[in-house]
Amino acid sequence: MLAVKLALRNLMGARLRTGLNIFVLSLSFIVIIWNKGLLNGWDQQARRDTIEWEIGGGQYWQENYDPYDSFTLETSHAPIPEAARTAVRQGELTPVLITQATIYPQGRLQNVILKGIDPDQRILKLPTAVLNRQGTDIPVIIGKRMAEDSKLKVGDRVMVRWRDANGTFDAADAVVVDIFKTNVSMIDVGVFWVPLATLQSMMQIGNEATLLVTAPEKGFDDTLPGWVFKDQEFLLRDITEMIAMKSIGGKIFFLILMSLAMLAIFDTQVLSIFRRQREIGTHIALGMTRRQVVGLFTVEGALHSVLAAVLAALYGIPLLGYQATTGLSMPAGTDDYGLTIADTIFPEYSLGLVVTTTLIVLVTTTIVSYLPARKIAKMEPTDAIRGKIL
């Protein structure tokens, strides 16, 4: 306790030097927590949106299906097993049929993916209910990005050409009945959503599908021959790897900030020991052991991080709280990168993040403060009192 009081008195006596060190350390606290909180917020938003809009509680893939190989779409559909049909009626599964097609908006040619889905499904957030529209044209819903790329709007008609299961090409008019906005580009860019029964009829196949999407809460979890189940962790792997890659940059930024802050603390401790040699010799002559004096200087360095944490809390809590409420608006064009990213990212800060950051800075500062203080153990009190340089 005595060492803490002496350390506080010495720090307050340094004034400007102490203030600058504390301010730099507090900035490190804020930037580290903000950076990690922003990545956490992006990660949580991307996972939540992808689950709600695309993958549900997981997916059953027809065994030939490969989302990265468009040539597999010709053979990656199969009859829905009886057990899965029961689950569909109970709202535990929703089938999706996928095939390639070509559209001709305003006389231009554009390749698209046709995805058939049950208009009455409630598992995915897609506004599929509007696909129940009656008429001779094929009802279609598209995402905002697709609408911008194809220059289509609600009510527009466009020619669609596809190839059925027998390899015969056919064509018909489709009408855009709705345009939805989503952060998940995989269900938006280059995708036309049509009623499942309509697409099955167009391809001249029976009750077949390419994917079976399970409900997030009480989804189907049985084994289906000829179908491979992909859980959420597998389907979210791209997001996980992307966040991990971004975290590497954050860690490098963290190391740079910490290195600058620790260099300032180290230089301050070296200068303090050099300038206070007589004080150190006096302490030792009055009965303090060398270990106690080393501890005093180490405590002084550690208190920098404690005071920095207090200062960071004073201006960081309202600043980060405001950021978490208003979010960080992403620049225009970000949604064209093919990433699941919202227009505004809301950082998420946890108690564990704050505590971990504080402990890392505290331990690092203590170690950096101890390193130059070790020289005190080599000092002779008579030499120190005379001001002899180490």
Question: Along the 390 residues of the chain, how does pLDDT read in single tens digits?
Answer: 655 666 666 666 666 777 777 888 888 888 888 888 888 888 888 899 999 999 999 999 999 999 888 888 888 999 999 999 999 999 899 999 999 999 999 888 999 999 999 999 999 999 999 998 777 789 999 999 899 889 999 999 999 999 988 889 999 999 999 999 998 888 998 999 999 999 999 999 989 999 999 998 776 778 889 999 999 999 998 888 888 887 787 778 778 877 877 777 777 777 767 766 677 777 677 777 777 777 777 787 778 788 888 888 898 889 888 888 888 877 665 665 556 777 788 888 888 888 888 888 888 888 887 777 776 656 666 665 565 544
Report the alpha-carbon distance of residue 105 to residue 156 in Å, rounded: 9
Instruction: Give long-range contacts, CB 8 A cutoff, 24+ apart: 290-296.
Output: 290/376, 290/377, 290/379, 291/377, 292/3, 293/376, 294/370, 294/373, 294/374, 294/376, 294/377, 295/3, 296/3, 296/6, 296/7
**DSSP-based three-state secondary structure for 296:** helix
Residue 337 is predicted with a pLDDT of: 58
How much is the pLDDT for 135?
74
Asked whether 194 and 116 are in contact (CB, 8 A), the reply is yes
The alpha-helical segments, DSSP class H, found in 226-376 are 232-235, 237-275, 277-285, 290-326, 351-373
* Residue 229 confidence (pLDDT): 93
Which pTM value belongs to this model? 0.79
- Classify burial at 93, counting beta carbons within 10 Å of its beta carbon; exposed 0-12, middle 13-18, buried 19 or more: buried
Helical (H) or strand (E) element with 187: none
Structure tokens at 54: 């695309």
Q: What local confidence, expressed as pLDDT, does residue 157 receive?
A: 93
Task: Write phi, then psi, for 161 (nearest 5 degrees).
Answer: -120, 135
